């Protein structure tokens, strides 16, 4: 009898704990009649948006979150979109977040497959990990200058996202933040960003160019892996380290300039970049690199342009010596594949290596790279 009583009490305790763990604190309809679920915060002085545990996909259509909510005759300021608040609400199309909210929690909008638009107010300071992951239809997002923290995989696999501007309030971009955003064509990264962690842009297959700000000191592992449309990338003089597989499988990349600041390049950094036609190294004292840093095809077909007086050093340094054609910077060689042009003998006619005439009339107007001036190759 005593055993049965203990078992009953234990079962009741488990039931109560389970109920508390699964229940939201209260629910109130917004001005449009949409039921929104909340938990208390800050000693019941504030509230944050959560979900109905009995119906995880309870939010649909357009949802307007109020700035404050009244419950039991008490007004509570809404300060956060909580953990998985809108998770897997696949019929949710838009959300209006009030300027009382300072945090978008982890996985807050993850797998909202129909979400097309969202406005993040200037009050928000942090966006949690995986906050918008798998939001397939989200086409654009404006990250306000108030945001200082963007969590890992925050916009990962947002397949419809085309452009992103990172505000100058952000100091670092976490790993996988924009991974597999396959329609992302443009990204603006400010000089405030000191670190861009690994896999941030992996498999952004529509991204054609990117400028890494001169505040960044390392190109992290797999940063631009399989960015198959990437044709140009600017590596600033602040970079000292290029990590493993940073540019692996960037099959459209035709030219790369490695600044003199670089002290280490890890294995496979430029591996399987099969269309690399020119590698320009500004490094005066070459250090050893792994043989698989570049592909055999690059070593055999792409010339390596090096600073004056360093050819001998490169020809005896591990990895670099694999290049079949090491050319001193400033050397000029004839070229036969420039498009015909009757102004070719006019001064300051500049082409890129694909034979496209450029609007610039001076190398001073162009970034480091290989160009064709009056039918001759010139390395800046």
pLDDT 10s digits, 188-222? 999 999 999 999 999 999 999 899 999 999 999 99
| Measured torsion, CA atoms of residues 53, 57, 60, 64, in degrees rounded to the nearest 10 | 40
Helix, strand, coil share of the chain (percent; to 5):
10, 25, 65
What's the pLDDT score for residue 23?
A: 63
What's the pLDDT score for residue 355?
A: 64
> Which stretch of DSSP H or E encloses residue 20?
helix 2-22
Residues in contact with 59: Cβ distance below 8 Å, sequence separation at least 6, in sequence order: 34, 36, 51, 86, 89, 91, 92
pTM: 0.81
Does residue 348 have a pLDDT over 80? no
pLDDT 10s digits, 231-248? 989 899 999 999 999 999
pLDDT 10s digits, 282-330? 999 999 999 999 999 999 999 999 999 999 999 999 999 999 999 998 6
Does residue 41 have a pLDDT over 70? yes
The secondary structure of residue 152, as a DSSP letter, is T
State the number of CA atoms in the 13 A half-sphere of 104 facing the CB: 38
């Amino acid at each position: 009898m005593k055993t049965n009583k203990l078992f009953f009490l234990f079962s009741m305790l488990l039931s109560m704990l389970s109920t508390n763990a699964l229940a939201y604190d209260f629910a109130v309809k917004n001005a449009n009649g949409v039921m929104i679920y909340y938990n208390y915060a800050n000693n019941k002085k504030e509230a944050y948006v959560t979900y109905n545990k009995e119906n995880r996909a309870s939010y649909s259509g357009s949802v307007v979150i109020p700035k404050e909510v009244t419950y039991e005759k008490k007004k509570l300021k809404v300060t956060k979109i909580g953990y998985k608040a809108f998770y897997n609400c696949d019929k949710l199309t838009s959300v209006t977040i009030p300027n009382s909210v300072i945090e978008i929690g982890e996985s807050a909008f993850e797998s909202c497959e129909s979400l097309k638009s969202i406005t993040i107010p200037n009050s928000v300071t942090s966006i949690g990990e995986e906050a918008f992951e798998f939001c397939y239809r989200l086409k654009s997002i404006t990250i306000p200058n108030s945001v200082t923290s963007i969590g890992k995989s925050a916009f990962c696999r947002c397949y419809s996202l085309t452009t992103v501007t990172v505000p100058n309030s952000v100091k670092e971009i976490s790993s996988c933040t924009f991974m597999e955003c396959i329609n992302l064509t443009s990204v603006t990264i400010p000089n405030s960003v000191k670190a861009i962690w690994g896999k941030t842009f992996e498999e952004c297959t529509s991204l054609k160019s990117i400028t890494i700000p001169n505040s960044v000191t390392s190109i992290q592992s797999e940063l631009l892996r399989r960015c198959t449309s990437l044709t140009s990338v600017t590596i600033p003089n602040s970079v000292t380290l290029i990590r493993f597989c940073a540019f692996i499988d960037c099959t459209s990349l035709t030219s790369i300039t490695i600044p003199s600041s670089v002290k280490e390049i890890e294995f496979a950094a430029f591996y399987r970049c099969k269309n690399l036609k020119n590698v320009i190294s500004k490094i005066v004292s070459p250090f050893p690199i792994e043989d698989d840093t570049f592909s055999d095809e690059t070593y055999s077909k792409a010339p390596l342009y090096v600073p004056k007086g360093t050819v001998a050093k490169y020809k005896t340094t591990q990895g670099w010596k694999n290049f079949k054609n090491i050319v001193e910077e400033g050397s000029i060689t004839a070229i036969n594949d420039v498009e015909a042009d009757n102004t070719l003998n006019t001064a300051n006619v500049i082409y890129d290596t694909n034979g496209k005439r450029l609007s610039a009339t001076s190398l001073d107007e162009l970034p480091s790279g290989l160009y064709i001036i009056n039918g001759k190759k010139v390395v800046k």
